[in-house]
Amino acid sequence: MLHEILLSLSGHPSPLLHTPPSPEADALAGITPPERQLLSSARHISDLNTNLIAYSTEISTTHSSTICRAVATAISSVHLAAFQRKVLQVEESILRNDADWVGAYNIVPLTAIMGEFQQWTRRLEWLWDTVQFILAKNTDGSSCRGSTLIDRLRDELQSGYQDVAATAESLVKVAETAWLKQVSAWVLYGRLPSFGADDFFVQKLHGSPEDYVCVENCLPSFVTGATAASMIFIGKSLNHVRAMNNTSSSSGGVAHVSAKLQELSTLTLPLENTEFSKAVKAIRTSLSQNTLQKMLPLARVSEMIQLLRDFFLLGRGEFAMALTHEADERVRNRWRRAGNLAYEKDDGLKNITVKDGEVAAVLNRTWAVLVSMQGQHAEEDDQLELARSLIQLHLTKSKPPAALVTGRGLDVQAANVLAASPFRNMLFSVPAMLSLDLPSPLDMVISPSDLQLYSSINAYLLSLRRAHMRLTGLWKITSLRRHYPAPRGASDDAVTLRERWSDRSWLLRSTWTTASATIFFLAETEAYFQTEIVKTLWDDFHAWLIPSQPQRSGHATPIDHHHSQPPSQHSHDPQTLATAHTLYLRTLTHRLLLTQASFTDQLYALLQHIDHLVTHIHRLHSLFTSLDLEHDAGVVDAFVDLEREQSQVFSSLHNIQLKVKQGINDVVSTLRDLESDATFLAEWDGQGLVDDEGEDRGYVPCRVGGVDRLLMKLDFGSWLGGTAWEG
């Protein structure tokens, strides 16, 4: 009987420890109830051991997570092996007739044997719970992640049971050792795990194989976001060094970082948050000082960020004006060739087909215009030449935009709003965007996600500038505003001309009023965005970027430098630059209201109405010209009823005027709602944008004027009251 019990405890099946199917077949009917209770305890321990042996083996050979495999292997090779040694030790003591086990007449008390194994019950039960946790599926159907297992094991260190805490600590050390090996390969050599890459927190960005993102679900909770960002940056930088094929930088830099293996090897397990962060920071600092700052000087970073400011954020206004003009000309040419009258009677423009070659030709023509504006000094504009070689204009269907990386300052909801932003449609009536072919190693500081934000902001600001330009361009149509030359004398022709002009002037009075009021709205809104938001944030960021260099402009808007500027001799490491630039850009996106769908939707609808208004006025001018030729010169087109078309255009023009007026009121109402929205005001003040998690990042965005300043400017126009509109 003792032999059967010990074999069963070792993991072998035994009929002795199982309840018989019926009392008649019970061969152990003579066993007393206390003995049966002891055998029940033995059966429980035996079942736990048997299941642990089977399932830990399965996990260690089939699980997709390296960490889970390591923990399962440790359960089998350490803890179950220790239990097996305990069984052999008890068996050996009985065979040696140890007095502690064998009494008179060679009787071995069953109570003594089970008492020796009772201390293993809680430990085996806890191990079985751990194995079941590893085997369980997540809500999305995926297997247990290594980071989740590490978090569970670290929580169990506070269980209150000494034996459970000791077992959990041993497994935590195994799990964190396996995780640390993956981290070491990444931060020392820039290599992702060859097995279990989906379980590692660093993963390649979908659609951009050269960029990497942090998957928070795969990151242990003791690692802060700042430390994770540092590790991602280190690995990306090592890949850049290797990709540049610079022998001296590659070998020296990697060898120097490899020497930092001692930083990780001296860490004690379980890992402490502060000590681990210090080790990662030491590796990052060493890499930056010895390799990256030589490979990526600050002047080169500043040059590229200045280029993005000038061409994407409309710092060079002539570029925005030339691009808008050339795009409009290209679209008009398409209409002319297609015989399209460039308008619809009711709701808007007809869609036209635009090809990639035409879009690229628009940008090429824009560069030619800018060069001609420079004159004989064109060769001195190095920034323009650099922009020509890097900036592209293309349809989004031919080159889909990069995915926006969410995180600090850009949550999933805001990213979805930006991804669905419709302002890319304004330039060609189809989605088109500016992009930048960023050369390496500048992509260590400016990520594809950053460039996507620049493109979104550019389309947004360019749409406002385009609407403003198209409306002010109406005043260039002299014949619509006044009759020139004025008819003289009192002849019938002169009287007819004066009456004709008076009638047209009266009919267009409300149109010019609407256009003037809309220009005021666009001018104030655009000035607020460009001067108080874009320029103020840029000046503040540029002062932080190069503190020893004075700001390029001296506009009088006060800047709240509530953060301390670094000393002039300080050189920011590339990760600090990347983090600060991303924070600056995401702050700019929030302050421009691009993440507020309620505002952008109303503004986009208004810009469409403005487009329709301008198109109808141009159409009306064309009809006036044709009617004048018909009445004055006898040029008649028998296939067109000009009087009827004029009446239809006037009707459509009246309807679109009402839509423009209502659109402006809707935008202003949305601004008033945002002004009283506590959540929006918290975002505006930067809550959630800045979270340094104990690290000195150096850059904190300055405060800029709120939405109330824009509303104050708009309130000077009495036409915003709604009732003051002239119908």
In a domain, 552, yes or no: no
Range 620-643 average pLDDT? 73
What stretch of H or E contains 274? helix 273-287
In a domain, 74, yes or no: yes
Buried b vs exposed e over 439-458: b needs ≥16 C-beta within 10 Å? eebbbbbbbbbbbbbbbbbb
Residues 456 and 386 in one domain: yes
pLDDT band at 342 (very low <50, low <70, confident <90, very high): very low
In this predicted structure, what is the pLDDT of residue 472? 94
132 or 5, higher pLDDT:
132
For 118-140, write each residue's pLDDT tens digit. 888 899 999 999 999 999 988 88
In a domain, 149, yes or no: no
Range 552-572 average pLDDT? 45
Picking from 253, 279, 294, the residue at the C-terminal end of a domain is 294
The radius of gyration computed from the CA coordinates of the chain, to the nearest angstrom, equals 38
In a domain, 276, yes or no: yes
Indicate the range of 152-156, 437-441, 475-479, 546-550 predicted with least confidence: 546-550
Range 597-608 average pLDDT? 95
Round to whole Å and give the CA distance between 214 and 223: 12
In a domain, 266, yes or no: yes
pLDDT at 57 over 90: yes
CA-based angle 636:641:646, to the nearest 5? 110
The parent domain of residue 107 ranges over 1-144
Residues 306 and 354 in one domain: yes
For 293-339, write each residue's pLDDT tens digit. 788 888 999 999 999 999 999 999 999 999 999 998 888 776 665 54
pLDDT band at 610 (very low <50, low <70, confident <90, very high): very high
254 or 500, higher pLDDT:
500
Residues 244 and 384 in one domain: no
CA distances from 359 to 367, 396, 425, 451 (A): 13, 11, 13, 19
In this predicted structure, what is the pLDDT of residue 432? 92
Range 612-618 average pLDDT? 91
In this predicted structure, what is the pLDDT of residue 291? 79
Residues 35 and 67 in one domain: yes
Residues 181 and 133 in one domain: no
Range 675-683 average pLDDT? 85
622 or 335, higher pLDDT:
622
Number of domains in the chain: 3
Question: DSSP string spanning 76-96?
Answer: IIIIIHHHHHHHHHHHHHHHT
Picking from 144, 176, 210, the residue at the C-terminal end of a domain is 144
How many helices and strands in the chain, by DSSP H and E? Answer: 28, 4
In this predicted structure, what is the pLDDT of residue 255? 52
Residues 114 and 204 in one domain: no
379 or 223, higher pLDDT:
223
328 neighbors 618 (Cβ within 8 angstroms): no
Residues 330 and 475 in one domain: yes
For 88-124, write each residue's pLDDT tens digit. 887 777 777 766 666 656 666 667 677 778 888 899 9
pLDDT at 575 over 80: yes
Range 655-661 average pLDDT? 94
In degrees to the nearest 10, what's the CA dihedral of 652, 658, 663, 665?
170
For 156-169, write each residue's pLDDT tens digit. 998 888 999 999 99
pLDDT band at 173 (very low <50, low <70, confident <90, very high): very high
Amino acid in position 157: L
pLDDT band at 189 (very low <50, low <70, confident <90, very high): confident
Residues 46 and 20 in one domain: yes
- For residue 437, give the nearest of 536, 311, 290, 571 by alpha carbon: 311
Any bridge partners for residue 433, and if so which? 394
In this predicted structure, what is the pLDDT of residue 346? 41
In this predicted structure, what is the pLDDT of residue 249? 43
- Greatest mean pLDDT among 259-268, 586-595, 630-639, 697-706: 586-595
pLDDT at 226 over 60: yes
First to last CA, the chain: 105
Range 603-618 average pLDDT? 93
In this predicted structure, what is the pLDDT of residue 32? 64
Residues 618 and 540 in one domain: yes
Round to whole Å and give the CA distance between 229 and 658: 51
| Chain mean pLDDT for the chain | 81
Round to whole Å and give the CA distance between 348 and 124: 74
Q: Phi and psi of 214, rounded to 5°? A: -95, 120
pLDDT band at 290 (very low <50, low <70, confident <90, very high): confident
- Greatest Cα pair distance, the chain, in angstroms, is 148
- Greatest mean pLDDT among 223-237, 494-508, 679-693: 223-237
Residues 448 and 594 in one domain: yes
pLDDT at 18 over 70: no
In a domain, 634, yes or no: yes
Residues 256 and 382 in one domain: no
pLDDT band at 260 (very low <50, low <70, confident <90, very high): confident
Within 10 angstroms of residue 259's Cβ, the number of other Cβ atoms is 12
Residues 437 and 367 in one domain: yes
In a domain, 89, yes or no: yes
Question: DSSP string spanning 485-545?
Answer: SPP-SSSHHHHHHHHHHHHHHHHTHHHHHHHHHHHHHHHHHHHIIIIIIIIHHHHHHHHHH
Picking from 252, 278, 294, the residue at the C-terminal end of a domain is 294
pLDDT at 709 over 60: yes
Range 533-553 average pLDDT? 79
* CB proximity list for 397: less than 8 A, separation 6 or greater: 431
In this predicted structure, what is the pLDDT of residue 598? 93
For 396-439, write each residue's pLDDT tens digit. 887 777 778 777 778 888 888 888 889 999 998 889 999 999 98
Round to whole Å and give the CA distance between 516 and 519: 5
CATH code of the domain covering residue 384:
1.20.120.1900
pLDDT band at 257 (very low <50, low <70, confident <90, very high): low
145 or 572, higher pLDDT:
145
CA-based angle 719:724:727, to the nearest 5? 105
330 neighbors 362 (Cβ within 8 angstroms): yes
How much helix, strand and coil, in percent to the nearest 5, is found in the chain? 65, 5, 30
573 neighbors 288 (Cβ within 8 angstroms): yes
The model carries a pTM of 0.79
In a domain, 263, yes or no: yes
